[in-house]
Amino acid sequence: MNPSRVFLQQVFLALVVLLLPGAASFAQSDPAKPLRVVLKGHDPVAYFTEGKPVKGDPKISHDWDEERYLFANAGNRSKFAANPDRYAPQYSGYCTGTMARAGNRAESDPEAWIIADGKLYLFGQVKFRDMAEKDPAWLAGRIVAANDNWRAKK
């Protein structure tokens, strides 16, 4: 075989080996999207144990269902990690009313919450929490519609 041809083949092979990993990185999708912090950083367990929203500590977090939850203390994080379905807000903490009406995800107000049948629901405004407290039938209707829309969006 011609020595110059062997040399060209070796150069070509070296280029392929060097460029192949770089080409693979171009084929990858966007860098990993940061996880959404649920409840604007409030501790989901505190709604059940303290009966009020409590701001969580970014150093005490737990990632679940592709989202991040913050906790006021390690004990609450342990409770959540052991049973996230018990403490996680419905609809990943998005507004129950918006999910019921349009099936859209709108951030909720951590102060606008209610626990019904052992589940945490949030709303975009405190006035809707007040409506839910005064009219359980209104809340039940919102929950049915929100559940249907949430399943369709998942």
Domain shared by 48 and 61, yes or no: yes
- On the CB side of 75, CA atoms within 13 Å amount to 2
Which band of pLDDT confidence, cut at 50, 70 and 90, is reported for residue 96? very high
Query: For residue 95, is pLDDT > 50?
Result: yes
Task: Compute the distance between CA of residue 148 and CA of residue 47 in angstroms, rounded to an integer.
Answer: 25
Burial of 29 (0-12, 13-18, 19+ CB in 10 A): exposed
Whether residue 91 contacts residue 100, with contact meaning beta carbons closer than 8 Å, is answered with: no
Residue 9 lies in a domain: no
Domain closes at, from 63, 88, 113: 88
Task: Note the pLDDT tens digit of each residue in 41-56.
Answer: 999 999 999 999 999 9
- What per-residue confidence (pLDDT) applies to 139? 97
Domain shared by 115 and 82, yes or no: no
Domain shared by 51 and 98, yes or no: no
Whether residue 131 contacts residue 121, with contact meaning beta carbons closer than 8 Å, is answered with: no
What's the CA dihedral at 21, 26, 27, 29 to 10 degrees? 130
Domain count, the chain: 2
Task: Compute the distance between CA of residue 74 and CA of residue 58 in angstroms, rounded to an integer.
Answer: 12
Domain extent for 83: 33-88
Task: Note the pLDDT tens digit of each residue in 128-142.
Answer: 999 999 999 999 999
Whether the pTM exceeds 0.75: the reply is yes
Bridge partners of 3, per DSSP, are none
Residue 28 lies in a domain: no
Residue 77 lies in a domain: yes
Residue 70 lies in a domain: yes
